[in-house]
Chain A
Amino acid sequence: MTDRPTDRRYSREHEWVLTDGGTALVGITDYAQAELGDVVFLNLPEVGAQVTQYGKLGEVESVKAVSDLFSPVSGEVVEVHQELMEHPEWVNEDPFGKAWMVRVRMSDRADLAKLMTAEQYAKFLEGLEH
Chain B
Amino acid sequence: MSTTDSLQRTALYPAHLALGARMVLFAGWEMPIQYPRGILAEARAVRSSAGIFDVSHMGRIEITGRDAPALMDLVLTQDVMGLKEGRARYALLCTEEGGITDDVIIYRLGPDHLLLVCNAGNRPAVWPWLQRCAGEFNRVDLKDTTEATVMIALQGPQTPAILERLAPGVASALRPFAITRAQVAGVQALVARTGYTGEDGFEVMAPAQEGERLWGLLIQGGAAPCGLGARDVLRLEAALPLHGHDMDVSTNPFEAGLERFVNLQKGRFLGQQALQRVHANGVARKLVGFVMTGRGIARSGCSILSNGQAIGQVTSGGPSATLDKNIGLGYVAVEHAQPGASLIIDIRGNLVEAQVVPLPFYSRRRGL
- Count of interface residues, chain A, beta-carbon cutoff 8 Å: 12
- When distances are taken between beta carbons in the complex, the residues of chain A under 8 Å from B296 are 41, 43
- When distances are taken between beta carbons in the complex, the residues of chain B under 8 Å from A66 are 297, 299, 348
Name the CB-closest residue of A to B319: A40
- When distances are taken between beta carbons in the complex, the residues of chain A under 8 Å from B40 are 38, 40, 63
> A37 touches which one: B38, B297, B318, B348 (CB < 8 A)?
B38
* B5-52 interface with A by 8 A CB criterion: 22, 33-34, 38-41
> A63 touches which one: B22, B233, B348, B350 (CB < 8 A)?
B233
Say if the beta carbon of A61 comes within 8 Å of chain B. yes
Beta-carbon contact of A63 and B299 below 8 Å = no
* B38-89 interface with A by 8 A CB criterion: 38-41
> B38 touches which one: A38, A41, A61 (CB < 8 A)?
A38
B360 to chain A, nearest CB (A): 19
Known: A63-B39, A64-B39. A40 touches B297 (CB 8 A): yes
Say if the beta carbon of B229 comes within 8 Å of chain A. yes
A49 to chain B, nearest CB (A): 15
- When distances are taken between beta carbons in the complex, the residues of chain B under 8 Å from A43 are 296, 350
Beta-carbon contact of B39 and A38 below 8 Å = yes
* A19-72 interface with B by 8 A CB criterion: 37-38, 40-41, 43, 59, 61-64, 66
Beta-carbon contact of B39 and A37 below 8 Å = yes
Q: Is the interface of A mostly helix, strand, loop or mixed?
A: strand
Beta-carbon contact of B318 and A64 below 8 Å = yes
- When distances are taken between beta carbons in the complex, the residues of chain B under 8 Å from A64 are 33, 39, 229, 232, 318
A32 to chain B, nearest CB (A): 15
- When distances are taken between beta carbons in the complex, the residues of chain A under 8 Å from B348 are 59, 66
- When distances are taken between beta carbons in the complex, the residues of chain A under 8 Å from B319 are 40-41, 63
CA distance A41 to B325 in the complex (A): 11
CA distance A59 to B349 in the complex (A): 13
Name the CB-closest residue of B to A61: B297
CA distance A40 to B299 in the complex (A): 13
Name the CB-closest residue of A to B318: A63
Q: B297, B326, B348 — which one has the most chain A CB atoms within 10 A of its CB?
A: B297
CA distance A37 to B33 in the complex (A): 10
B138-179 interface code vs A (CB 8 A; 1 in, 0 out): 000000000000000000000000000000000000000000
Beta-carbon contact of B299 and A37 below 8 Å = no
A63 to chain B, nearest CB (A): 5
CA distance A62 to B232 in the complex (A): 13
- When distances are taken between beta carbons in the complex, the residues of chain B under 8 Å from A62 are 39
Chosen A-B contacts, 12 in total, with CB atoms closer than 8 Å, are: A37-B38, A37-B229, A38-B38, A40-B40, A41-B297, A43-B296, A59-B348, A61-B297, A63-B233, A63-B318, A64-B229, A66-B299
Additional pairs, 18, CB under 8 Å, beyond known A37-B39, A64-B318, A66-B297: A37-B34, A38-B38, A38-B39, A38-B40, A38-B41, A40-B40, A40-B297, A40-B319, A41-B319, A43-B296, A62-B39, A63-B39, A63-B40, A63-B229, A63-B233, A64-B229, A64-B232, A66-B299
Closest 4 CB pairs of A and B: A40-B319, A63-B39, A38-B40, A38-B38
